[in-house]
Structure 1
Amino acid sequence: MPAQTSDQRWAAQAAVGDESAFRELYRAHVRPVYWIAQGILGSAPDAEDVTQETFVVAWRKLPALELRGESILPWLATICRFQAANRLRQRRRDRAHAAEAVDEAELPDTISVEEQVITSALAARIAAEVGTLSDLDREIFRLCATEGYAYQAAADRLGVTHAVVRNRLSRVRTQLRGAVNEVRDA
């Protein structure tokens, strides 16, 4: 009989309740599971939650697992993808409920002309300022500030380092704050 791999041994031990064996599986696979979740969700906090949910589900389902290969990672990746899909569905439901929950009584009956002018001027100034950015800075701003990408996800998408995204986005935000303050002070 061929020797068992570490995953096979730990999975068998964890399946009968050995928490230290499950901790070994967790340590061995938490990073790849996290990166799978991060790739699907694009949000570090959500990826962390889904990673934990993946291992909670795995702990519950281990007694029924028949590990066919040497690694447990494909099984964990499948659980992770299902958990991430659930998270995405929950996000959509939350957004839909939040939109429905806006009570018209909370909305002002009128918006003053002055507020409309300030808002319009502010939007125009921000758009003009974003238009002066380099292509890379504009793309970093779009991904991180508009679409909510984590720095590392944006860096991976753009083929730059995490530090490049962090530093450039900080400069862009400072530049935009200056533009906003100009409009407010005017």
Structure 2
Amino acid sequence: MSATDARADVELLAAAAGGSEHAFRALYRRHVRPVFWLAHGLLGVRTDAEDATQDTFVVAWRKLPELELAGDSLLPWLVTVCRYQCANRIRRQRREREHSAGPADDALPGTVDVEKQVVDAQLVERILAEVAVMSPLDQSIFRLCAADGYAYAAAAEALGVSHGVVRNRLSRIRTRVRTAVEEERA
């Protein structure tokens, strides 16, 4: 960052701390890309990175009146806030994933719909037959995400592939299974 940019940051920061939304927008436009790419690098999911970036700038807006920069640029402070936002998001997602498989519900229905059970069993058999002819990686992705409830990132880590591979393949798997089931019903 040049000395002119750093001075502009200090001036924009002072104006934004005084309540200028225009100055804050200018700071946002100046720093949103590096903050987003940091968040994306840490989280690996575009929507999560967008949320973390937004959270970072919400914190910045709230803290502006009391903020004192260590240097001339706001970016190092934003990077620190963004890292905390990403760490909090990762912890929250891990906690949700750990708690998503709660204890089984002991409340059983009063009656059993045999016809529905037969239809459901046939649907499950058709889905499993379609998955059985897929590649071993696709079968693993289906098992982890669709059957075991893994998030994309957790499945990617377990399989040693990228988040994007899991997301894209699972989308194709779902389309393939949906098409096979609809063809059989027709």
Q: Which residue of 2 aligns with 1:108?
A: 109
The CA distance in 2 between the partners of 1:30 and 1:87, in whole Å, is 18
Q: Which residue of 2 aligns with 1:58?
A: 60
- Structure 2: segments with no counterpart, 5+ residues: none
Q: Which residue of 2 aligns with 1:130?
A: 131
Question: What amino acid is the match of 2:131?
Answer: V
Question: What amino acid is the match of 2:127?
Answer: I
Q: Which residue of 2 aligns with 1:31?
A: 33
Deviations 1:85-119 (A, max 9, x none): 4445555469849958x9765x5246556555544
Residue 17 of structure 1 deviates from its aligned partner by 2.6
Question: What amino acid is the match of 2:181?
Answer: V
Q: Which residue of 1 aligns with 2:22?
A: 20
Q: Are residues 1:157 and 2:162 paired? A: yes
The CA distance in 2 between the partners of 1:7 and 1:138, in whole Å, is 51
Q: Which residue of 2 aligns with 1:80?
A: 82
Q: Which residue of 2 aligns with 1:49?
A: 51
The CA distance in 2 between the partners of 1:97 and 1:133, in whole Å, is 28
- Structure 1: segments with no counterpart, 5+ residues: none
Determine if contact 1:43/1:149 at 8 Å carries over to the other structure: no
Count residues with an aligned counterpart. Answer: 173
CA 174–103 in structure 1, closer or farther in 2 if over 3 Å, else same:
closer
Q: Are residues 1:8 and 2:43 paired? A: no
- Tell me the secondary structure at the aligned position of residue 49 of structure 1: helix
Deviations 1:40-69 (A, max 9, x none): 455544443332222121012123333234
Residue 26 of structure 1 deviates from its aligned partner by 0.6
Structure of higher RCO (CA pairs closer than 8 Å, 6+ residues apart): 1
The CA distance in 1 between the partners of 2:144 and 2:77, in whole Å, is 31
Q: Percent identity?
A: 57
